[in-house]
Amino acid sequence: MGNSNATNSYLETFAAPTLDHKKTYRIRGIPLEYKKIHVEQLLLSVLKLDGAQDAVQVKSLAMSPNHKTKMATVDFRTLPAGLSSSSNEWHFDIPDSYAENNGGEDDSDIIPKQPGITIDTHFKGITVLLSFKNVSQHKIDCIAISGLGGHAFGSFKERAESHMWLRDSLPSDLPNARIILYGYDTQLHGSHTFQDLEALASTLRSDLQTLAPRDPSNAESPTTPLIFIAHSLGGLLVKEAIIQMKRDKNHLALLDSVYGALFFGVPNQGMEIASLVPIVKDQPNRALLYSLGKESQILRNQSREFPKAFDSRDSEIFCFYETEMSPTAVLRGTEWKMKGPFSILVDSSSAKHGRPWENEAHHCLALKRNHSELIKFSRNDEDYGRVLTELKRMASAAIAIANQKSSIEADMPIMVRSAIDSVGMDLILPMLSVVDQGRHKSTIPCLDHDRPEFYWVFRNLDFKQWNNPRCSQVLWLSGPPERNIDRVSAYIVDLEKKTALKTEHIVLYFFCSSVSTNESIIDIFFHTLLYEIVRYLPMNEKRAVVKSFLLTLYEQAFKTATSPSWKTRQLKEEDPPNEKIKKLLKAPTNQLCAALEAALGYLHKREISIIVDGLDKKKIEFIMGVRAFVKCLQQRTPKAKILLTSGAQAEIKEVLSEFPCIEYDKERKG
């Protein structure tokens, strides 16, 4: 791919290498101690250059993923004779005068490896453009992936110029980000490969595993959050790789590190391939090309599977799409030229078709560019500024979430952490004292909210205000038994759930009538809400929320325990893991309340609705506990809105008097 030729010129529409005479070269295998000046001197030596000023320009120098060598990108003022062959990769030994001299007599039977560098123009695999000496500076990874027939470096390079925004602009504009390119071979003309989308994604997934943890000296160091910058086919590779990660338990940690992606002209529902078919003819890569068409069953399946595999609401996909037509290729003599009719290669509906909850305008942006130019930016480019704004926002969110997760992990005592990891989510959740709220709700008759007997609720101004999606407040409904308030509550639960299908919204509910005893009712209440929270979440978030819950229990119930009853329950090293968890879950009510608040606080970005029905069916102590929980929740989770219902009893009114109330026959109608 590094050598531009006539047949590949067609691929410029699909982010092919920039076809000017000045190529950029990648250097691998550079010794760790080398600085830019040393790299320049080494290249002058091995390539036998004259040493004239600017004969070699080292544009970037960064740590390789394995942390054993460095890699660089380099421009030459004139093409070195040693690199003038038709190859796209060359190998050179590092002269003894440049190689590290350990000194002393070597009595080992192992012949030392001759140090050497590799120079290439194909940029296949991983290329790091920026890394950090100080590990604490490294907060996030940005990995750029080119499209069909693309080139890892040239695709992102300004046309006919030397500026490459990922290397020359982004490092200063996005501090703390390690900038990485990923290259793979999908040239169309003259290809002999029969790799498909699944195989390409599998290789990407494997290569991502080579990215070392933030601190290579500490295998337990937190995983760095990752954002993809993907063009065209590159976005499909990202989606397929994520689907594969989800299916393989050995790659769940890698999946957990992925915050999201910026997609540029990604053909989620296929692209226009009619002008490409004559180029591939009957080559082995014909199947790959057809899998990208608008009738592709492979892409239909991927569109169904991807939202399931990447279902965390604390993640994001942002899509950019083209609004200019692109020239297609025509065969002129023996060469493909970009002189054909203009065509829309990836239409907006295909480029914007993402996860169901991200199809709104605020998850996509049009750029007045053709398909290839979507990812080519000049210095001070306005479109680059637009892309940078979204990337900065996503990076800030990703770093904040990663810090929150690592804080939970760091604070968790080893004994407790190992217990959670040993027992697993599938065993922890059944330990909760839970009453199936969904089953109980299904026994409550449905209602027609337009019937006059329910006007006192649904036409009330206070309810309309509470029901506003932008509203976050508490509302208490009070009425006699014949008003069927439990049916009102069940209807409102269903109403909130319908809204939740389209938004990042969690709906929790608890019917007091579902519990036949007053014993430990408040514990059952907190356990049930935790269970309902976890049911909504993907696995990586389940673990984080449950860990936050249990850590809070440990800190408040055990580390500060003073009562004799709690001293007898202290966690012991010799306790089996499941016994440790059971002891944590038997914490006092006030500790369970604090732990649930902490778990809900972890979800502070989401809207949360909580409906608690039938408070009059339980003792006043339970109602006071719910009130305390609600008041704390209002402070910790501003996006929460809570509905409480009860019979009309003076004792309850005294406890809940601080909350807005709709009383039967005293309502404000609107």
Q: Which candidate, 292, 258, 262, places its Cα nearest to that of 274?
A: 292
Q: How high is the pLDDT of residue 7?
A: 34
The domain spanning residue 652 has which CATH number? 3.40.50
Q: How high is the pLDDT of residue 39?
A: 94
* Number of structural domains found in the chain: 3
Residue 26 lies in a domain: yes
Residue 74: its H or E element: strand 70-76
In sequence order, what are the residues at sequence separation of 6 or more whose Cβ sits closer than 8 angstroms to the Cβ of residue 652? 478, 615, 616, 620, 623, 646
Integer Rg of the chain from CA: 30
Residue 8 lies in a domain: no
Residue 344 lies in a domain: yes
Whether residues 401 and 417 share a domain: the answer is no
Give me 234's structure tokens.
């590159």
Residue 188 lies in a domain: yes
Q: Of 363, 386, 410, at which residue does a domain stop?
A: 410
Residue 5 lies in a domain: no
Q: How high is the pLDDT of residue 159?
A: 87
Whether residues 456 and 563 share a domain: the answer is yes
Q: Of 365, 391, 410, at which residue does a domain stop?
A: 410
Whether residues 77 and 50 share a domain: the answer is yes
> 513 with 486: CB under 8 angstroms?
yes
The domain spanning residue 66 has which CATH number? 3.30.70
Residue 148 lies in a domain: yes
Report the distance separating Cα 317 and Cα 171, nearest Å. 22
pTM attached to this predicted model:
0.68
> 291 with 298: CB under 8 angstroms?
yes
Amino acid letter for position 275: S
Kindly list the distances between the CA atom of residue 287 and the CA atoms of 8, 191, 303, 344, in Å, as whole numbers in the listed order: 19, 12, 19, 22
The domain spanning residue 161 has which CATH number? 3.40.50.1820
Whether residues 172 and 237 share a domain: the answer is yes
Q: Is 214 left (phi over 0), alpha (psi -120 to 50) or beta?
A: alpha
Whether residues 138 and 196 share a domain: the answer is yes
Whether residues 318 and 402 share a domain: the answer is yes
Report the distance separating Cα 82 and Cα 161, nearest Å. 24
Report the distance separating Cα 664 and Cα 670, nearest Å. 15
> 282 with 368: CB under 8 angstroms?
no
Backbone angles phi, psi at 217, to 5 degrees: -80, -10
Report the distance separating Cα 445 and Cα 436, nearest Å. 17
Q: Is 83 left (phi over 0), alpha (psi -120 to 50) or beta?
A: alpha
Residue 588 lies in a domain: yes
Whether residues 647 and 503 share a domain: the answer is yes
In sequence order, what are the residues at sequence separation of 6 or more whose Cβ sits closer than 8 angstroms to the Cβ of residue 24? 59, 73, 74, 75, 121, 153, 154, 157, 162, 164
Q: How high is the pLDDT of residue 421?
A: 63
Residue 255 lies in a domain: yes
Q: How high is the pLDDT of residue 14?
A: 39
Whether residues 453 and 323 share a domain: the answer is no
> 537 with 500: CB under 8 angstroms?
no
Whether residues 42 and 140 share a domain: the answer is no
Report the distance separating Cα 290 and Cα 271, nearest Å. 10
> 4 with 86: CB under 8 angstroms?
no
Give the domain extent around 517.
413-668
Q: Of 380, 410, 440, at which residue does a domain stop?
A: 410
> 154 with 144: CB under 8 angstroms?
no
Q: How high is the pLDDT of residue 599?
A: 79
Whether residues 79 and 133 share a domain: the answer is no
Q: How high is the pLDDT of residue 110?
A: 58
Q: How high is the pLDDT of residue 412?
A: 61
Backbone angles phi, psi at 504, to 5 degrees: -85, 80
pLDDT, tens digit, 9 for 90 and up, residues 223-252? 789 999 999 999 999 999 999 998 887 888
Q: How high is the pLDDT of residue 90?
A: 94
The structure tokens 């404000």 sit at 668
Neighbours of 54 (CB within 10 A): 9
Report the distance separating Cα 245 and Cα 239, nearest Å. 10
Whether residues 177 and 45 share a domain: the answer is no
Q: In which residue ranges of the chain is pLDDT below 70?
A: 1-21, 97-113, 187-194, 212-222, 277-285, 336, 405, 407-413, 415-417, 420-424, 469-472, 502-504, 518, 539-540, 557-571, 573, 602, 604-605, 638, 667-670
DSSP string for residues in 546-591: HHHHHHHHIIIIITT--SHHHHTT---TTS-HHHHHHHHHT--HHH
> 528 with 612: CB under 8 angstroms?
no
Whether residues 424 and 571 share a domain: the answer is yes
